[in-house]
Amino acid sequence: MTALYRIKFADALTDANRDEFTLDDVDLEVRLGAAGSMTGRIPIARDDMQTGARIANIRGSGASAVYVTRNGTPFWGGLLWTKTPSSDETGKPSVALSAGTFESYLDHVQLQTDLAALTGADQLDIARSFIDHMQADPSADMGITYDPTAESLVLRDRVQYTAASRVSYLKMLSDLAQLDSGFEFAIQILTDPTTGSRTRMLRLGYPMLSSGYTHRLSKPGAILSYSFPEDGPRAATHLVAQGNGASSSLHVNAAALADGYPRLDATTSYGSITDTAVLNAHAAADLALAAPPVAVPALRVRLEATDLTAQSLGDSIRITIRDENFPAGIDATYRLVGMTIKPPQRGRPETCDLILN
């Protein structure tokens, strides 16, 4: 069956439903700990002034929530940022859309009042405090909820953030999550199967987000194509994290050096941080991510041949491949941290590019 994609619009602040349309040429992206994206096009038949008027009533610039369904099942949610009415050389009209997941909103809202320091707080409490601080302003209240009981038992001091720094809420949340022994987060849309009511939920996971489920993919099978690049320029054995007038100590990957890798230097930047202990935690985490060899597979799969959904972020992906590159076969497990979905179009199968680590 060919998957059918539709787009629903709602008021960004109240989530009141506004309208719904067929969606063509859509690309959907979701990621852990970062804003995903959506691009697509609403087709308009020639002389269909009524549909054109309906689309004209949909507001961009973050004022409209966007929900994309696949075969009637909610698959993607976020905010509409750009709407582009256009007509091609033949006079065929359409409206191109560009949207971002709700994480993109956190990147568009900057601190306007000081955020006092906290001492000895669970890092997930600190993460929730950022959302509370943002949504205390009614005009920035996106109705993002969370589980107040989730904890990591990792205690941290929240540094003071001043309004003058104009730091975004996504930046504060991301910097906290990326510390050594940090956590993962994603804002996902949960839909009640009976009432259809939606919840914009900030999911926090320590040390990681996962349902505990393992998806199995193989070639031959659901895997259409793959690559296993070794990203040498990202590798590092020596790393320093720099902040605002402060730096971490030099962190060294002794195991990699003992294994024969040469000295590879890297510096990471956290411009708003002045606390040396926080910078050292960032440096430890960054060095672990840069441990050579940095090799992460990229997979393209037939989506309909898998059980993957946008809610699968954080799950394990077990891949088995046996071909000319791997004559003895490969059986390895990675984590799903991002997906880009491309619906079927003009003979092209519905595909999904997986971002793994």
**Mean per-residue pLDDT, 69-80:** 88
**Mean per-residue pLDDT, 159-164:** 84
- Residues 34 and 48 reside in one and the same domain: yes
**Closest CA relative to residue 22, chosen from 8, 38, 36:** 8
Per-residue pLDDT at 192 exceeds 70: yes
| Token reading at 40 | 């697509």
- Residues 221 and 336 reside in one and the same domain: yes
| Token reading at 79 | 């905010």
- Residues 20 and 78 reside in one and the same domain: yes
- Residues 12 and 47 reside in one and the same domain: yes
- Residues 253 and 349 reside in one and the same domain: no
- Residues 55 and 167 reside in one and the same domain: no
* CATH number, position 44: 2.30.300.10
pTM as predicted: 0.81
Q: Say which residue, 307 or 232, is predicted with more confidence.
A: 307
Average pLDDT, the chain: 90
- Which residues make Cβ contacts (< 8 Å) with residue 6, sequence separation at least 6? 20, 21, 22, 23, 68, 69
For residue 329, give its domain range.
214-229+296-356
Which tens digit of pLDDT belongs to each residue from 199-233?
A: 999 999 998 888 788 999 999 899 999 998 877 78
Under a CB-based contact definition with an 8 Å cutoff, are residues 81 and 98 in contact? Answer: yes
Write the DSSP symbol of residue 354: E
- Residues 352 and 218 reside in one and the same domain: yes
- Residues 255 and 220 reside in one and the same domain: no
For residue 86, give the H/E element and its range.
Answer: strand 73-87
pLDDT of residue 86: 92
Q: Say which residue, 288 or 169, is predicted with more confidence.
A: 169
- Which residues make Cβ contacts (< 8 Å) with residue 37, sequence separation at least 6? 27, 28, 29, 98, 99, 100, 101, 104
For residue 85, give the H/E element and its range.
Answer: strand 73-87
- Residues 258 and 314 reside in one and the same domain: no
* Residue ending a domain, choose from 106, 127, 142: 106
pLDDT of residue 272: 67
* Residue ending a domain, choose from 64, 85, 106: 106
- Residues 244 and 159 reside in one and the same domain: no
Per-residue pLDDT at 65 exceeds 90: yes
- Residues 313 and 219 reside in one and the same domain: yes
pLDDT of residue 147: 95
* CATH number, position 164: 3.55.50
pLDDT of residue 141: 97
Instruction: Give exposure, 203-212, as e/b (b: 16+ Cβ within 10 Å).
Output: bbbbeebbee
Under a CB-based contact definition with an 8 Å cutoff, are residues 318 and 331 in contact? Answer: yes
* Residue ending a domain, choose from 106, 136, 152: 106
pLDDT of residue 270: 82
- Residues 81 and 119 reside in one and the same domain: no
**Domains in the chain, number:** 4
Which tens digit of pLDDT belongs to each residue from 248-300?
A: 999 999 999 999 999 999 999 887 688 898 899 889 988 988 888 877 788 99
Per-residue pLDDT at 332 exceeds 60: yes
